[in-house]
Amino acid sequence: MVYKLNPLEVVLDFEDRVYELGDAIKLQVTLTVNGDANVRGGRIDLVCEEHYSQTGTTFVPDTYASSTGAGQGTAGSTRNVGKERKETVVHSTVSFLEPGRIADGTSSVHTASLQVQPSPPPHFEESIVLQADAQSSWTFSWTLVATVDVVRGRNPSVERVVRVKLPEAPAGGSVDGKPRMTSSKRKTGPSSGE
């Protein structure tokens, strides 16, 4: 079986601007073939990387000072600690190439329109809730990934960063329009004016 390491090159172009949920991204993919290639198809994915971070401080005792009894109280220092995690989801996708054979030395241009799905990323609602928390947050970064599925060859792909604007939280703090419950502070006793 012959395996081609670099059967074709992929170039991805689109208008560099801010897109919103529900917008269409007009895409142009240029393929340059290095030798005949059979392809199963090609697609473009809009990938969202959700990044969660939580920061804080913790007290770390100085074990030397504690074991020798030096000083009064516990010696030590505070250190920044935190948690991080990343999740990647394919938010939207579109096909731009049908199965077939591409001849050696040819260059072809394919166009597609990727409809950005109107639903926000999975952790978007949680990110709205965490806006009031100075130590925890979700951030979102977006990438367009064009991939060609090559028979008996490496599947070439190219990535481009794209700017996608997520909706603002309404005054109530919820994107679904439902008001959030807040508890008001109770009076602790009569004020001087009463």
Higher pLDDT: 154 or 59? It is: 154
In a domain, 44, yes or no: yes
The model's confidence at residue 152, banded by pLDDT at 50, 70 and 90, is confident
pLDDT at 51 over 70: yes
Higher pLDDT: 192 or 114? It is: 114
Q: Is 3 helix (H, G, I), strand (E, B) or coil?
A: coil
Mean pLDDT score, 131-153: 87
Report how many domains make up the chain: 1
**DSSP H helical ranges for 8-113:** 63-68
pLDDT at 53 over 60: yes
Higher pLDDT: 47 or 76? It is: 47
In a domain, 191, yes or no: no
The whole domain housing 110 covers 8-165
The residues near 158 (Cβ < 8 Å, ≥ 6 apart) are 10, 11, 12, 145, 146
Cα-based distances in Å from 121 to 37, 46, 125: 36, 11, 8
pTM greater than 0.85 (yes/no) = no
Q: What distance in Å separates the CA atoms of residue 175 and residue 118, rounded to the nearest whole number? A: 13
Q: State the pLDDT at residue 127.
A: 83
Terminal-to-terminal C-alpha distance of the chain:
92
In a domain, 69, yes or no: yes
For 33, other C-beta atoms within 10 Å of its C-beta total 19
pLDDT at 156 over 90: yes
Q: What distance in Å separates the CA atoms of residue 142 and residue 16, rounded to the nearest whole number? A: 13
In a domain, 15, yes or no: yes
pLDDT at 167 over 50: yes
The model's confidence at residue 123, banded by pLDDT at 50, 70 and 90, is confident
Q: State the pLDDT at residue 189.
A: 43
In a domain, 183, yes or no: no
What is the CATH classification number for the domain harbouring 16? 2.60.40.10
pLDDT at 80 over 80: no
Secondary structure in 3-state letters for 144-172? EEEEEEECCECCCEEEEECEEECCCCCCC
Residue 44 has which token pair? Answer: 């473009």
The model's confidence at residue 31, banded by pLDDT at 50, 70 and 90, is very high
Do 14 and 29 contact (CB within 8 A), yes or no? no
In a domain, 104, yes or no: yes
In a domain, 3, yes or no: no
In a domain, 78, yes or no: yes
Q: In the sheet where 8-14 sits, what is the strand order? A: 8-14, 24-33, 107-115
